[in-house]
Amino acid sequence: MRLWGTPEGSALDPAFERLNASLLFDRRLYPYDIQGSIAWARALARAGLLTPEECQQIVAGLEAVKAELDAGAFAFQPTDEDIHTAIERRLRERIGAVAGKLHTGRSRNDQVATDLRLFLMEAWPRLEEGLRNLEAALVAQAEAHIDLLMPGYTHLQRAQPIRYAHWCLAHAWAFERDRARLRDAHPRLATLPLGSSALSGTPFPIDREALAQELGFSSVSPNSLDAVSDRDFVAEFLFIAAMIGAHLSRLAEDLILFASAEFGFVELDPAYTTGSSLMPQKRNPDALELARAKAGRLIGHLVGFLTVLKGLPSGYNKDLQEDKEPVFDAVDTLDALFAVLPGVVRTMRPRPERMRGALEEAMLATELADYLVRKGVPFREAHRAVSGLVQTALRGGKPLSALPLEVMRQHHPAFEADVYAVLDPEAAVERRTVRGGTARSAVEEQIRALRARWAEARSVTSPASHQRSTGAPE
């Protein structure tokens, strides 16, 4: 018998029954459903709706059902339309009619919203740790090669010299923003909907604050109608996942380019590349290409789910069954990427000779303009003068440093003999001492700042993850 049906009710069309069922994917929520049900049974007992003996019987029965599920020994039935139905059906088989008291004052509407939040609350610190590991790998590369210079790019054109460490940290800071988003979103995620019932709140004297504490939530939902339909936490997670995917994709794209023969800036460890089925000489950056591709998958989940949400009336609607699969897949995708990409970064080897060989004097043209500015020349005037100077060098096929001083002075009289000292990539980099710049001191400050954030940021762990089975709240 279904939770909502009667023995004499009309049968469902088999095709509709398959469409309506969610057990194929929501069975993954069973640990959280049992965790929430155990806490709910205790809340019912505190409210005088279960005797201590009934509560103990239900809790023991739920623990036994969980053991079956953990062991893969749980026999699902055709009438199990979702994991909530399956667990309650099996609990009734094990302990009898008292199992029917567990659903007192509770609806699957607030039950499933609680389960999904618990699932994400457990995933949150794992995702945060994955980001931290990737940042740490980038910082390790920066520290190991802090004096290595390379071209910096805009529009994929050589622009100005920077430190390789600066490039590494540019990606690290993007992932640090993602970690900050996880931390910022956690209080909104850790809001308990249980006790909202179907839409109007439970009519029984449930202590929702005690329930929240036991399950590891930091607050309770303020409005029951909103609570059962609120999937902002899903959309927010999918946005964070999509943003992480975009950042991973940009890192991957840089490294795919840098590892190519045309650039040759880095060499990838063979453990993270594959060979060609036809061309024996090739090694393909498949780990990075897959990371780049997964961004599309993560972005698709966000766009798809926002489209589900946009036209829903208030209260719970079955459309919200579509929340679980994108969440599960996004978590699995990020877990898989974080298992690989820190290793890709940690083991890659920069090639200093190729990076230095790509530093050309034309990249120092801005240094000449800045030189004139220091002589009191307005920047726009300096820019025009240096632009003409660059064209003169190109026409003559000479580097800027080979142009005689009299030629430079033809473009602007403020050029003096000390101008040639600025045409040095090391000096150009070291002039960028501003906070966030690419000078050695500025890069070292960035590394210290990242490490300080790691030390200061509290991990967004959920106490519920440590109390999964039966333990009382600490």
What gap in Å lies between CA 312 and CA 316, rounded to an integer?
Answer: 9
pLDDT at residue 461 greater than cutoff 50: no
For the stretch 76-108, pLDDT in tens is 998 898 999 999 999 999 999 999 999 999 999
Task: State the pLDDT confidence band at 468, using cuts at 50, 70 and 90.
Answer: very low
Same domain, 180 and 271: yes
Same domain, 251 and 384: no
Same domain, 215 and 351: yes
Domain endpoint, select from 79, 101, 123: 101
Active site residue 462: no
* CATH code of 278's domain: 1.20.200.10
**pLDDT value at residue 279:** 85
* CATH code of 80's domain: 1.10.275.10
> Could you tell me if residue 473 is inside a domain?
no
What gap in Å lies between CA 35 and CA 322, rounded to an integer?
Answer: 23
Same domain, 97 and 113: no
> Could you tell me if residue 1 is inside a domain?
no
Domain endpoint, select from 357, 380, 400: 357
Same domain, 143 and 90: no
pLDDT at residue 467 greater than cutoff 80: no
**pLDDT value at residue 79:** 85
The total number of structural domains in the chain stands at: 3
**pLDDT value at residue 429:** 97
**Structural domain boundaries enclosing 35:** 14-101
470 or 437, higher pLDDT: 437
Query: Residue 334: is it exposed, middle or buried by C-beta count within 10 angstroms (0-12/13-18/19+)?
Result: buried
What gap in Å lies between CA 249 and CA 292, rounded to an integer?
Answer: 4
Cα 46 from chain centroid (whole Å): 39
For the stretch 381-411, pLDDT in tens is 999 999 999 999 999 999 999 999 999 999 9
Same domain, 73 and 121: no
> Could you tell me if residue 450 is inside a domain?
no
User: Mean per-residue pLDDT for 166-177?
Assistant: 98
Residues 97, 69 contacting (CB under 8 angstroms): no
What does 223-249 look like in DSSP terms, one character per residue? -HHHHHH--HHHHHHHHHHHHHHHHHH
Mean per-residue pLDDT over the chain, rounded: 93
For the stretch 125-146, pLDDT in tens is 999 999 999 999 999 999 999 9
For the stretch 211-263, pLDDT in tens is 999 999 999 999 999 999 999 999 999 999 999 999 999 999 999 999 999 99
Same domain, 320 and 380: no
Helix, strand, coil share of the chain (percent; to 5): 65, 5, 30
> Could you tell me if residue 458 is inside a domain?
no
Residues 77, 120 contacting (CB under 8 angstroms): no
pLDDT at residue 462 greater than cutoff 50: no
> Could you tell me if residue 295 is inside a domain?
yes
Residues 230, 193 contacting (CB under 8 angstroms): yes
What does 311-348 look like in DSSP terms, one character per residue? TPPSS--GGGGGGHHHHHHHHHHHHHHHHHHHHHHHH-
Task: State the pLDDT confidence band at 421, using cuts at 50, 70 and 90.
Answer: very high
User: What does DSSP assign to residue 92?
Assistant: H
> Could you tell me if residue 310 is inside a domain?
yes
**pLDDT value at residue 471:** 39
pLDDT at residue 469 greater than cutoff 80: no
In the set 219, 260, 276, 441, the catalytic residue is 276
Same domain, 370 and 345: no
> Could you tell me if residue 336 is inside a domain?
yes
Same domain, 173 and 251: yes
pLDDT at residue 150 greater than cutoff 70: yes
Same domain, 237 and 114: yes
pLDDT at residue 285 greater than cutoff 60: yes
> Could you tell me if residue 447 is inside a domain?
no
What does 403-469 look like in DSSP terms, one character per residue? S-HHHHHHH-TT--GGGGGG--HHHHHHT--STTSSSHHHHHHHHHHHHHHHHHSPP---GGGGSSS
What gap in Å lies between CA 282 and CA 275, rounded to an integer?
Answer: 6
* CATH code of 376's domain: 1.10.40.30
**pLDDT value at residue 3:** 62
What gap in Å lies between CA 320 and CA 414, rounded to an integer?
Answer: 69
**pLDDT value at residue 30:** 98
pLDDT at residue 157 greater than cutoff 70: yes
Please name which of 10, 40, 355 lies closest in space to residue 196, comparing C-alpha atoms: 40
Please name which of 40, 92, 65 lies closest in space to residue 204, comparing C-alpha atoms: 40
Same domain, 132 and 242: yes
Active site residue 10: no
